[in-house]
Amino acid sequence: MKNIMTIIKKEFARFFGDYRLALSTLLLPGLMIFGIYWLIGEGMQNLTTEDPEVVYDVAVYNMPEEVREGMMEILALIEEHPELFPGLSFPNMNFHSVDNRTVALERLEYGYYDLLAVFPAEFTADPGRIDEFRYPNFPQKVMLHFDATVQDSDLAFRSFSSLMSAYHGTILPQDVLFFTDFYNIADDAAMAGMALSMMLPMLILIFLFQSCMGLTPESIAGEKERGTIATMLVTPIKRSEFAIGKVASLSVISLLAGISSFIGIILAMPMMLGDEIGMGDAAAAYTVMDYVWLLTLVLTTVILIVALMSLVSAFAKSVKEATGILTPVMMVGMVAAFVPMFAGNMTGIYWYMIPFVNTTLALTDIFAFDYSVANVAVVNAMNLVLAAVFIFVLTKLFNSEKVMFRK
Amino acid sequence: MSNVILKVENITKTYAISKKQQKIEKAKLSQQAGRASKTAPTVITANDNVSFTANKGEIFGLLGPNGAGKTTTLRIMSTLIKADSGDVFIDGFSVKNESTKVRGRIGFLTSELKMEEFFTPNYLFDFFSNLYGLDPTKQAAYKKEIFEKFGIDKFAEVKVANMSQGMKQKTSLVISLVHDPDVVIFDEPTNGLDVVTAKVVTDFLRDLRERGKCIIVSTHIFSLVEQLCDRVGIIIAGQMVMCDTLAEITKERTMEEVFFDLYKKTVGEVD
């Protein structure tokens, strides 16, 4: 028993005596997990909550005036007496009466309208005529056209459907006078692109972090710990050459490891999501330039991650300490992987300057067929500039006897 | 024309000590003074104004007990660490300001510098030759010659991880001298070696001397100094307490007698 306590005390002294190790093991993971879950929660809410500032433009075809007035009355009632409609709220919607369905549909495609609601000719909401739409006849169908790959259009569709239901419920609580059906104008490739843009940036970043994490601490902190790094530092090689050589080689290997994982995910994705996602459509729809930009983003991000991890590894006394410090660093980086959840609100150029967030944003844009070359170039430039700064500091660390020979 | 190739000029090197150690030092001072000491030293002095020179074609021995500051001196000479003050000149180049040029002119061997265990002597020789920017054709011929000399040719493709201590030391020696440097700095050259390997190493050092190289060895082994060194610097408690030719230092006495006399004068009786 005494010996067991002796061993326990020694282990505790080793662990709690090393403040950095204790901090990175005990405090940071909890903080990171809280941060990640908070972000996920915020993100999910962002996806399903209408922005009160936004006004959705809804084109209406054949919509009778009394229906419009009835719906407006419901909106006004909800606004005046929200306590009567717990949990029910609607965004601001402008109804635009249109005469030409084809033109309205084209405008929907271009984003001029968020939704097109097509009512049947001579649509009636008169409850007295309910018998005309009872079996064997059909209830009237209101067709809603929207683009599921556009967040505003998707939210406008959901809001308008709910409003129609609320309206129908106030005039005819039981019988069905009319119902809404929908048509998603987004093609298969765009839909698949949207699905990819939601998942792949996150997966790519996670795999890149993982592959870098598996290599960098071992290559830098490991060499330091084993004393092999000093053997090279007594040769005439410049510290900057040494730092660049390390970062370049680790980047290539990490990239290969990341690509291997990525291919596995791509192959498994149809099995995960089912065939209807249209992966083939999306893959074929991307141009060569899309793939080139994608590759540059992945490459510059790997260089940035490796440079950052090399810096931490050079600072650490051992592989164990490097891994301990890098785990929360990696978690911070991975938080950025959840950025697509916020993508709708992150359009300013400054978002493309925040490390890792910018990579995920740019990847999301490319997968969703909605990117600007300028933004991607900004991300690549930011990644390389930051990596250069890290390499510069790494060079200084290789020159520092306190860092390199600290025990 | 001066034969001096290495000049160590007044180097001083201190290391910060931990808070806990500072308390111990403070307690020690209080005990010695017989009253509570208000201040505690915050640094420990590894080298205190150390100076010496070494010439081409000689083996210079740095003799001292563990913790005397020998390794610190060698590390400063080899550019791995920087002195707080003073400088070292190798072939006229300052370790402070021209460290890259210095590194190209020295070979540094110490047990702290390890070889990557995954690699073989063959690979490591080529790798370090490339780092020094040496001609591959010339290096191939040199590799053959020196591998044969040390018997490394018999285990040229064995990974370092699978080598004996002697094999590692031979490989380490050869690797650190791939560029045939003019100054060879060797920390505890025979430590951990069996008598056969130790003889191979000491013979090689003599060989280097014959070829006009300057060899600096640090050691705490008196017999090694007596067998090998032309000149000796004795370091005790960070200070160079004596530096002269072996003959001048020992005269009629043994190295051990001289050393303990100096130790007694500098530090006090051995506990």
Q: What is the mean pLDDT of residues B178-185?
A: 93
Place A391 in a pLDDT band, splitting at 50, 70 and 90: very high
Shared-domain flag, residues A116 and A213: no
Shared-domain flag, residues A243 and A392: yes
In this predicted structure, what is the pLDDT of residue A379?
A: 93
Domain that holds residue B65: 54-83+99-266
In this predicted structure, what is the pLDDT of residue B95?
A: 94
Shared-domain flag, residues A400 and A287: yes
Region of poorest pLDDT, from A101-115, A192-206, B101-115: A192-206
Which two tokens mark A268?
């498994």
In-domain check, residue B47: no
CB pair distance less than 8 Å for A230 and B100: no
Between residues A200 and B48, which one has the greater pLDDT?
Answer: B48
CB pair distance less than 8 Å for A401 and B81: yes
Shared-domain flag, residues A208 and A307: yes
CB pair distance less than 8 Å for A236 and B117: no
Place A265 in a pLDDT band, splitting at 50, 70 and 90: low
Give yes or no for a contact between B82 and B96, defined as CB atoms under 8 angstroms apart.
yes
In percent, the amount of chain B with pLDDT more than 70 equals 98
Shared-domain flag, residues A66 and A177: yes
Residues in A closer than 8 angstroms to B176, CB to CB, are: 231, 234
Q: Which of A218, A232, A234 to mutate to test the interface with B (most CBs of B within 10 A)?
A: A234
In-domain check, residue A49: no
A335 pLDDT exceeds 80? no
Number of separate domains in chain A: 2
In this predicted structure, what is the pLDDT of residue A280?
A: 60
In-domain check, residue A122: yes
pLDDT tens for each residue of A59-92: 999 999 888 888 888 888 888 887 777 767 777 8
Average of per-residue pLDDT values in chain A = 81
Q: What is the mean pLDDT of residues A188-217?
A: 78
pLDDT tens for each residue of A16-25: 777 776 776 6
Note the ipTM here. 0.82
Which two tokens mark A250?
């680790």
Q: What is the mean pLDDT of residues A313-337?
A: 84
Give the closest-approach CA distance of B2 to chain A in angstroms. Answer: 26
In-domain check, residue B35: no
Q: Which of A235, A395, A396, A406 to mutate to test the interface with B (most CBs of B within 10 A)?
A: A235
Burial class (CB in 10 A: 0-12, 13-18, 19+), A114: buried
In-domain check, residue A150: yes
Q: What is the mean pLDDT of residues A90-95?
A: 82
Residues in B closer than 8 angstroms to A401, CB to CB, are: 80-82
Buried b (16+ CB within 10 A) or exposed e, B56-83: bebbbbbbbeeebbbbbbbbbbbbbbbb
Between residues A44 and A360, which one has the greater pLDDT?
Answer: A360
- Give the residue from chain A lying closest to B74, CA to CA: A234
Integer distance in angstroms from the first to the last C-alpha of chain B? 47
Collapsing DSSP states into helix, strand and coil, what is residue A323? helix
Collapsing DSSP states into helix, strand and coil, what is residue A21? helix
Q: What is the CATH number of the domain that holds A136?
A: 3.40.190
CB pair distance less than 8 Å for B133 and A401: no
Could you tell me how many CB contacts below 8 A there are between chain A and chain B? Answer: 49
Of the candidates B184, B188, B227, B173, the one whose C-alpha atom is nearest the C-alpha of residue B70 is B188
In this predicted structure, what is the pLDDT of residue B233?
A: 94
DSSP code at position A27:
I
Select from A153, A184, A215 the last residue of a domain.
A184
Give yes or no for a contact between A372 and A382, defined as CB atoms under 8 angstroms apart.
no
pLDDT tens for each residue of B70-92: 989 999 999 988 999 999 999 99
In this predicted structure, what is the pLDDT of residue A281?
A: 61
Question: Quick one: how many helices (H) and strands (E) in chain B?
Answer: 10, 10
Q: Which of B79, B84, B168 to mutate to test the interface with A (most CBs of A within 10 A)?
A: B79
Number of separate domains in chain B: 1
CB pair distance less than 8 Å for A236 and B132: yes
Smallest Cβ distance to A237: which of B80, B115, B131? B131
Q: How far apart are CA A240 and CA A233, in angstroms?
A: 11
Select from A184, A213, A243 the last residue of a domain.
A184
In percent, the amount of chain A with pLDDT more than 70 equals 82
- Give the residue from chain B lying closest to A234, CA to CA: B103
In this predicted structure, what is the pLDDT of residue A43?
A: 62
CB pair distance less than 8 Å for B113 and A234: yes
Between residues A350 and A44, which one has the greater pLDDT?
Answer: A350
In this predicted structure, what is the pLDDT of residue B24?
A: 83
In-domain check, residue B103: yes
CB pair distance less than 8 Å for B106 and A231: no
In-domain check, residue B163: yes
Of the candidates A179, A166, A180, A183, the one whose C-alpha atom is nearest the C-alpha of residue A139 is A179
A114 pLDDT exceeds 70? yes
Average of per-residue pLDDT values in chain B = 89
Of the candidates B126, B127, B121, the one whose C-alpha atom is nearest the C-alpha of residue B159 is B121
A399 pLDDT exceeds 80? yes
In-domain check, residue A214: yes
DSSP code at position B211:
T
Give the closest-approach CA distance of B226 to chain A in angstroms. Answer: 29
Give A153's strand partners.
none
Smallest Cβ distance to B81: which of A226, A236, A405? A405
Give the closest-approach CA distance of B262 to chain A in angstroms. Answer: 31
pLDDT tens for each residue of A220-253: 898 888 888 888 888 888 888 888 888 888 888 8
CB pair distance less than 8 Å for A235 and B131: yes
pLDDT tens for each residue of B13-33: 998 888 888 888 788 778 777
- Give the residue from chain A lying closest to B179, CA to CA: A235
Which two tokens mark B63?
């003799």
pLDDT tens for each residue of A348-384: 778 888 888 888 888 888 887 778 899 999 999 999 9
Shared-domain flag, residues A173 and A195: no
Q: How far apart are CA A394 and CA A308, in angstroms?
A: 9
In-domain check, residue A50: no
In this predicted structure, what is the pLDDT of residue A327?
A: 84
Residues in A closer than 8 angstroms to B103, CB to CB, are: 234-236
Between residues A120 and A344, which one has the greater pLDDT?
Answer: A120
Query: Which uninterrupted H or E stretch holds B125?
Result: helix B121-131
Q: What is the mean pLDDT of residues B151-179?
A: 90
Domain that holds residue A297: 2-44+191-404
Shared-domain flag, residues A30 and A74: no
pLDDT tens for each residue of A132-160: 888 888 889 999 999 988 878 888 898 89
Between residues A109 and A151, which one has the greater pLDDT?
Answer: A109
Select from A184, A214, A230 the last residue of a domain.
A184
Q: What is the mean pLDDT of residues A167-176?
A: 82
Q: What is the CATH number of the domain that holds B256?
A: 3.40.50.300
In-domain check, residue B34: no
Residues in B closer than 8 angstroms to A234, CB to CB, are: 78-80, 103, 106, 108, 113, 176
CB pair distance less than 8 Å for B132 and A235: yes
In percent, the amount of chain A with pLDDT more than 90 equals 17
Region of poorest pLDDT, from A18-32, A39-53, A131-145, A293-307: A39-53
Residues of A with CB under 8 A from a CB of B: 223, 226-228, 230-238, 401, 404-405
In-domain check, residue B45: no
In this predicted structure, what is the pLDDT of residue A175?
A: 81
Q: What is the mean pLDDT of residues A308-326?
A: 89
Which two tokens mark B31?
């005990």
